[in-house]
Amino acid sequence: VPELTAVLAMEAEAATRVLPPGLRRRLGSLARFDPDLVLEDFTDGRAAGILSEAEILITGWGCPLVDDRVLTLAPSLRAIFHTAGTVKSHLSAAVWERGIVVSSAARANAVPVAQFTVGATLLAGKRAFGLSRWYATGEHKSRAGSLHLGNEDRTVGIVGASLIGRLVMDDLRERGFRLLVADPYLDPAEAEILGARLVGLDDLVTGSDVVTLHAPALPETRHLMDGRRIALMRDGAVLINTARGTLIDTGALVDHCATGRIDAVLDVTDPTPLPLGHPLFALPNVFLTPHIAGAQGREQQRLGAFAVDEIERWACGEPLHGRVSAADLPRIA
């Protein structure tokens, strides 16, 4: 019988997606937990009883705030394993103050986002998104001839050497793209190891055929792509955003895309979801998806598997792969 005691806290529906039966069995070999009890609310009458024993909290989408009151109910709590990305919205300062170990599955969620970005980069290089819409109106022949199609001899600018940004660089480097990277936390030597040249954001924007955003939403990244920077983009360049909508000044983007000078691929917008009838929907050179780049459907068990692997590492005293510390918070997603 495992010695550790764990509790699940998230939306019950999220728990079924991130922790299917096979993973629950594995978890059951590492920690004692009630597979039928998923706390959606810490004021749930059953919460006080099960939290009083818990050493591990396994959180996920829809987890209520873990605050002082919850920590008082859980005096034995030593670690929180999150089966999704950001931990900022559900962990209060008290968690960090008490020195509770925190792990996030953001590294696992980064994989599908990076795949989406690479796919978008390759298709955008062929102008596939716009040409698909122009095909339907019969304009594709005149359009295709005037565009510099293809993925040869291309430079991609990665904004943010984040978990996702690094996976994107790993993939595109292998495909022979030239890479520029802008990130205030990166040094040139580290960029070189990633196969990219570290430049300022303006130089990245002027020097790239594709600009792809992978920085977190922070006060200093709000409208990082404002009208002035969007105007610096090369003719025919593509702006990809799988990060957060607020990184782009949407009004300025609409203006620049409407002239047809640049294209955009946007998985996130400001606001997300985009209201029906928004001008971006009408632009043939803007390809929009409804925030699907992160783990969806069958990809979601990857997040639970990451958390269970982390619990195993933690139980064995091995270093965690998704450890988050309070000092990281001001610069991470």
Ligand X SMILES: NC(=O)c1ccc[n+]([C@@H]2O[C@H](COP(=O)([O-])OP(=O)(O)OC[C@H]3O[C@@H](n4cnc5c(N)ncnc54)[C@H](O)[C@@H]3O)[C@@H](O)[C@H]2O)c1
CB of 242 or CB of 250, closer to ligand X: 242
CA distance 113 to 136: 29
User: Both tokens of residue 108?
Assistant: 């696992």
159 to 188: interface string for ligand X, x by CB under 6 A: xxxxxxx----------------xxxx---
Residue 300 touching ligand X (CB under 6 A): no
H or E element in which residue 113 lies: helix 106-125
Residue 270 touching ligand X (CB under 6 A): no
Contact 193, 138 (CB under 8 A): no
CA distance 169 to 36: 41
Contact 26, 51 (CB under 8 A): no
CB of 77 or CB of 268, closer to ligand X: 268
In the region spanning residues 64 to 93, those forming contacts with ligand X, defined by CB under 6 A, are: 85
Q: Which stretch binds ligand X (CB under 6 A): 19-27, 192-200, 209-217, 299-307?
A: 209-217
Residue 302 touching ligand X (CB under 6 A): no
Q: Which stretch binds ligand X (CB under 6 A): 16-24, 208-216, 225-233, 248-256?
A: 208-216
CA distance 103 to 84: 10
Residue 109 touching ligand X (CB under 6 A): yes
Residue 243 touching ligand X (CB under 6 A): yes
CA distance 15 to 36: 10
User: Both tokens of residue 68?
Assistant: 């002082």
Total Cβ atoms within 10 A of residue 197: 17
Residue of the chain from 214, 232, 257, 265 that contacts ligand X (CB under 6 A): 214
Residue 215 touching ligand X (CB under 6 A): yes
Contact 240, 215 (CB under 8 A): no
Residues within the interface to ligand X (CB under 6 A): 85, 106, 109-110, 113, 159-165, 182-185, 214-218, 220-221, 242-244, 267-268, 291, 293-294, 331-333
